[in-house]
Amino acid sequence: MSTETGRVGEWSLFGHSLRRVVLYGILAGMGVFYLIPIETGIMTSIINPASYTGSFPYLPPLEPLVPGTGTFSLEPWQGAIDGLGQGLVNSVILVVPATIFSGLLGSMAAFGLTTISWRGQIGIYILFVAGIFIPYQAVLVPLTQFWYNVVPLQAVFEPLAVLPFVQEYHWKLVALIITHTAYGLPICTLLFRAHYKKLSDEMVEAAQLDGASVATIYRRIILPLSIPMFAVVFIYQFTQIWNDLLFALTIVQFGDAAVVTQDLVGIGVSQSGTNFPLRMAAALLAALPTLLVYIFFGDKFAKGVAA
């Protein structure tokens, strides 16, 4: 970025190209604005907490070369892994099935409400779309009542706990998976419907004339054509569910089933003050999966949020 600005500036200081210099200057400046909190976090996360002074939070630890910057250490990351390990495992157990279920069900709903067209389907679809905008506060108390007092999931998991890898507290994660699947459905359905509306009707009509059943049309024609959209939807849902705190807070509440966002809230604070290197390492570790997904599939993420 900086080399780009410099190079353009070199040969175009005259005439209207000065505008371009200013333009790139502003663009780069905004880039710094968006990156600096993350950059500061990364630099701070590799400082030995004992040598941390906080004088130059944006500089890497360069002591003894640059005094006041602290010495390099991976201790904060070790601490973050120790502190968030269980939460990370729980988050993975939650996110993978919830993402797949909401994506698959969303695709099926969109298919039944778009590709197969029938009168009145728009009314049903509006109920799906409206679900995107529900403030989740409006369903929290019933959800807690439902999972704690109505559905005996905990009783189901008590005998299952003898099985390998199954713990009694996993019932909370199952509850959370079902909840996230349900609340992810509206946006998934919207994304798939936008995609299915663009597909040509001819193939489906031809298949119908050939006597193909609805299920065959979905499996043979629509599903293969949905793969690019599945990527968009999975990335969007993965990010949403991984990042959620509110549902976890009200359904898991506390204990062994706590997910990573819950663990992150309290990390790095103690009687002796705030351990900033540990806290930044933990924030980055918790953000790492979604950051990696974003860096590798950024265009698909943009497509998901823009829809």
Partner 1 sequence: MRNPLTVLKRRLSEHREVRTDGGTTSAGSILDRDSVRSAPFWLPPFLLIGLFIYGAIAWNIVLSLTDFQGLGSPDYSALDFENYVVAFFGGTPSWSELTVSPIWNSAWNTVVLMVSFSVVCLALGLVLAILVDQEIRFENTFRTIYLLPMSLSFVVTAKFWLYMYNVETGLVNLFLGAVGVGPVEIVQNPDLKLAAVAFALIWQFSGYAMIVYLAGLRAIPTSHFEAARVDGASTLRMYWRVIIPQLRTATVSALVVLTVFSLKAFDFLFSMYGGYQPGPSADILATRMVREAYSNGNWAYGSAIAVILFIMALAIVTPYIYSQYKRGEL
By CB under 8 A, what part of segment 120-179 binds partner 1?
A: 120-122, 124-131, 133-146, 149, 179
The interface region with partner 1, picked from 59-67, 79-87, 153-161, 282-290 by CB under 8 A, is 282-290
Of 183, 196, 230, 234, which one interacts with partner 1 (CB under 8 A)?
Answer: 183
Torsion sign across C-alpha atoms 57, 58, 64, 65: negative
Report in angstroms how near the CB of residue 180 gets to partner 1 at its nearest. 10
Report in angstroms how near the CB of residue 268 gets to partner 1 at its nearest. 8
Report in angstroms how near the CB of residue 209 gets to partner 1 at its nearest. 9
Report in angstroms how near the CB of residue 161 gets to partner 1 at its nearest. 26
Question: What residues from 196 to 215 belong to the interface with partner 1 (CB under 8 A)?
Answer: 208, 211, 213-215
Report in angstroms how near the CB of residue 30 gets to partner 1 at its nearest. 6
Question: What residues from 229 to 248 belong to the interface with partner 1 (CB under 8 A)?
Answer: 239, 242-246
Q: Name the residue nearer to partner 1 (CB basis): 24 or 171.
A: 24
Question: What residues from 77 to 116 belong to the interface with partner 1 (CB under 8 A)?
Answer: 105-106, 108-109, 111-113, 116
Q: Name the residue nearer to partner 1 (CB basis): 160 or 265.
A: 265
Question: What residues from 4 to 63 belong to the interface with partner 1 (CB under 8 A)?
Answer: 4, 23-24, 26-27, 30-31, 33-38, 40-41, 44, 54-55, 57-58
Report in angstroms how near the CB of residue 109 gets to partner 1 at its nearest. 4
Binding of residue 181 to partner 1 (CB under 8 A): yes
